[in-house]
Amino acid sequence: MKISILGGATTKFGELWNISPRDLAREAIFGALANSNIKSTQVEALFVGNMLSGILANQANLGSLFAEELGSFVPAMRVEGACASGGLALHNGINALKAGVYKTVVVLGIEKMTDHESNAITNGLMAAGSDEERMAGATFPGLYALIARAYMQKYNVTEEALAGVSVKNHFHGSLNPKAQFQRVITVDNVMKSAKIADPLKLLDCSPISDGAAAIVITSDPNPRAIHNKPVEILASEVATDSLSLHERESFVSLKSVVKASQNAYKKTGIKATDIQVAEIHDCFSIAEAIAVEDLGFSEKGMGAKDISKGKYTLTKGKIITNPSGGLKACGHPVGATGIKQIVEITEQLRGVAGKRQVKNAELGLAHNVGGSGAVAVIHILQNNL
């Protein structure tokens, strides 16, 4: 059975203090419906990816809440998996279509973070960590700093090379009107920014953000009759690892990403070198450096160095990563990120990404990670032109 994306939409990401979660959901959902050429009455179910609403806003029943905005009281449910909530919501939506339960569904990713105090957000995000990590006072910048230090020592990587991740993604973000940060930065800017958790600095870290993204997926055997540019989902794979970082086999690779991506490649017959565009979960600069290695794009120990040399930069590389600006420049409203990635790849494969368009893109990959790698979701998409 083929699963196709009919269309998608994102709100702007950023500090959207004057926009409510309902407004964000409505904009994303109806933008996706319009982009898909279908009406709300054709939607049979709603899957919502969200992490923090129950913790920060004491509102957990998001399925029913946003079904109200859809205007149709269809089966609706929230899916949570830390920062991979969006990707997991899509995985569940796909499986529901494959099971024949529904034919057409909406998948929404949404998060409203900036209305809350930074301490509350930090504590909320650490719900994705282990008890031991929380008791030790660890935060995710601290955990990823440990990963970065281990990686830099093992592979002789400099802080300047690691800064190349943020430089690339801010360049791409400068081309994206929906991005939270639309300005170019330099390695010197990164190096001079405030240290958050050594060796990670402010400009190595993705920001707290608000935003929503939605897509419409269908199992209709003739999606072209609905939209003239459907995009096929070739693979949707999920893998997990230990919740605690200290229980891992390695600090310099995420086993969940390796397993999920290898399963996706095996089931589709696609090789890493076939991918032309990828949205990477760069919650911190070190995360993308390791991800391009775990996904098979770079050799072990070469991820940061390859990125800093322009291997994955628009117009320069054979595989372009994070043309949206990634989490770093586009913003990271955690529940929305996984769906935003899918919208970006869909636009790239349709050839409608504007200034950030990857030339002749036919195969794309989305890499969505929860916590410090406890869960990873990999999707591979192909244009169906």
Rounded to the nearest 10 degrees, the angle between the axes of helix 285-294 and helix 159-173 is 90
Given the residues 91, 332, 367, 379, select the one marked as catalytic. 332
Spell out a b/e string for 101-113, using b for 16 or more CB atoms within 10 Å of the CB, else e: ebbbbbbbbbbbb
332: annotated active-site residue? yes
Given the residues 83, 205, 283, 330, select the one marked as catalytic. 83
Q: Which residues contact 372 (CB under 8 A, 6 or more apart)?
A: 129, 140, 143, 144, 147, 245
Tokens of 137: 């006072």
Q: Residue 63, Cβ neighbours under 10 Å: how many?
A: 19
Tokens of 304: 């940061």
Say if CB 56 and CB 121 are below 8 A apart.
yes
Distance, in Å, from the CA atom of 268 to the CA atom of 289, rounded to the nearest integer, reads 25
205: annotated active-site residue? no
Task: Using alpha carbons only, give the angle 179, 181, 184 rounded to the nearest 5 degrees.
Answer: 115
Say if CB 180 and CB 209 are below 8 A apart.
yes
Bridge partner residues of 197 (DSSP): 200
Catalytic residues: 83, 332
